[in-house]
Amino acid sequence: MAGDRNDDSPEDQRDETRAERMDRNWSELLQELRVTQTGVQVLSGLLLTVPFQQRFVQLTAFQRRVYLVAFLLATVSTGLLVAPVSSHRLLFRKHEKDVLVGLADVLAKLGLTTLALTVTMVVFLIVSVVLGNAAAAVAAAGALVMFAGGWLVLPLVVLRRATRGGSQRPDRGNRRS
**pLDDT tens column, 70-100:** 999 999 999 999 999 888 888 778 877 888 8
Q: What is this structure's pTM?
A: 0.79
Q: What does the pLDDT read at residue 1?
A: 42
Domain ranges of the chain: 17-165
Q: What pLDDT, on a 0 to 100 scale, did the predictor assign at position 99?
A: 87
What confidence category does residue 9 fall into, taking pLDDT thresholds of 50, 70 and 90?
A: low
Confidence at residue 12, expressed as pLDDT on a 0 to 100 scale:
58
Q: Give the span between the Cα atoms of 174 and 12, in whole angstroms.
A: 8
